[in-house]
Amino acid sequence: MKKLIVASTSTVHGSGYLEYLLPTLKIFFNEVKELLFIPYARPSGISYDEYTAIVTKAFSTININVKGIHEFENPKEAIQNAEGIFTGGGNTFELVNQLYKNDVLSDLKAAVDNGTPYLGTSAGSNICGVNMMNTNDMPIVYPPSFKTLEFIPFNINAHYLDPIKGSKHMGETRETRIKEFHVFNDVPVLGLREGSWLEVSGDTIILKGEHSARFFQQNKEPIELESGSEVNS
């Protein structure tokens, strides 16, 4: 049975890396002694080793060891043998590009579908949806496909921002961008605000955290889902 935490962000304002999620992760990964980390998204362009060190420090506070997938000679076997998996945030285009380049997308899907607990934040959450087409990231590389893992039957727009009343900013809002997506695509989209996450157990998807989330469907008005609500597409 699938077990996932799909979080909008790794860090909320005023707290350390993953700090707001650690009490939940301690329970979620309670049977995991070593976590496999996928650093392919490279936030701010940092190296895999630098990124893994940040994650290692955070998980050491709940007594979980971390090893980066790049440290293994065979990344496919690393995923197949993992006790738990974490894919961090950064650039979704590069993350997906590397998953295809290393030929591990199908292995990752199989592992999680078979019950390996999975944590995603930001880009690592974007890939849990039907495709990566609602990322906010710049297309710095061109992955072979936008198709991702389909752990959930909708897409994630991480770091979702509401329009700011009175703002003189002339660029498009997130809601406008998602409406543009729905002119050509019928995949629902969940605008997941920072500090919120989804807990997935099998086919049950529950919104957690302090904030509501905004759910968009083609040819329908968006709706607000309160924390604690089940998300159905």
53-109 pLDDT, tens digit per residue, is 999 999 999 999 999 999 999 999 999 999 999 999 999 999 999 999 999 999 999
Contact 129, 148 (CB under 8 A): yes
DSSP 3-state helix, strand, coil percentages of the chain (rounded to 5)? 30, 20, 50
Per-residue model confidence (pLDDT) at position 170: 57
208, pLDDT greater than 80:
yes
Give residue 211's identity as a one-letter amino acid code: H
Instruction: Return the structure tokens found at 93.
Output: 């285009």
First to last CA, the chain: 19
What SS3 class is residue 120?
strand
Active-site annotation, residues: 122, 137, 159
Residue in this structure with the two tokens 């969940």, named with its chain if needed: 190
Domains along the chain with CATH numbers: 3-159+189-214 (3.40.50.880)
Query: pLDDT grade, residue 232 (50/70/90)?
Result: confident
Q: Please give the Cα distance from 151 to 35 (Å, whole number).
A: 20
Any idea which residue has 């790049």 for tokens? 70
Give me the pLDDT at residue 168, please.
63
Average pLDDT of 5-14?
92
- 117-150: per-residue pLDDT in tens? 999 999 999 999 999 999 999 999 999 999 999 9
Tell me how far CA of residue 120 lies from CA of 45, 132, 140, 153, 180, in angstroms: 19, 13, 21, 16, 26
Q: What is the pTM of this model?
A: 0.96
Look at residue 192 and tell me whether its pLDDT is greater than 80. Answer: yes
Give the tens place of pLDDT for each residue, 158-173: 999 987 676 666 567 9
Identify residue 19 by its one-letter amino acid code.
E
pLDDT digits (tens, 9 = 90+) for 26-46: 999 999 999 999 999 999 999
Per-residue confidence (pLDDT) for residue 14, from 0 to 100 = 80
Residue 172, pLDDT score: 78
One-letter amino acid of 104: V
3-state secondary structure of 208: strand
In 3D space, the residue among 183, 99, 174 whose CA is nearest the CA of residue 134 turns out to be 174
